[in-house]
Homo-oligomer: A and B are copies of this chain.
Amino acid sequence: MKMVDVGAKPKTERVAVATALLRMLPATRERILAGKMEKGDVLAAARLAGIMAAKRTPDFVPLCHPIALSGVEVTLEPVAQGLSIRATVRTVDRTGVEMEALTSACAAALTVYDMCKSVDRGMVMEAVQLEHKSGGRSGTWERGA
């Protein structure tokens, strides 16, 4: 096992986008959107948790390089089945930020689950996946392309 040496790679601008779907009961989604969860503002907490988790990715994913993230944005949108989560992470560094984007999306979903589990313990995270990455030697990758 090793954290592969990236010292010879140039620093380039890199972006990664990951998404996740958190499936829940319609009533749970409505209560979140109405801001009526007992533990507080679920969407704000999830966005913040996603941002903070992106910064902690190397603590969470053992072989991930520590990276100086230049930007992180997390959005949550209501969809028919629940909430759609999207994390966008940017850096100018020697290695990509796919893991940071995926970790961020997971943390946002876990935070929603935590704040709503007393009313809907059956919620399921689906389709946690990379959508796009660009920058670096391996270039651009798009899901479905």
Number of identical monomers bound together in the oligomeric complex: 6
Contact of A61 (CB < 8 Å), options: B3, B38, B64, B110: B110
- Which of A26-34, A66-74, A77-85 contacts its partner? A66-74
Pairwise interchain contact A125-B114, C-beta atoms closer than 8 A: no
Give A51 Cβ to nearest chain B Cβ, in Å: 5
Given contacts A60-B49, A113-B102, contact A2 B74 (CB under 8 A): yes
What are 21 pairs between A and B in contact, CB < 8 Å?
A2-B47, A2-B72, A2-B74, A3-B71, A6-B70, A40-B44, A40-B47, A44-B44, A44-B45, A52-B52, A52-B62, A56-B56, A60-B60, A61-B114, A66-B66, A68-B93, A102-B110, A103-B110, A121-B133, A122-B130, A123-B129
Residues of A within 8 A of B (CB): 1-7, 13, 20, 38-41, 44-45, 47-49, 51-56, 58-74, 90-94, 98-99, 102-103, 106-107, 109-111, 113-115, 117-118, 121-130, 133, 138, 141, 143
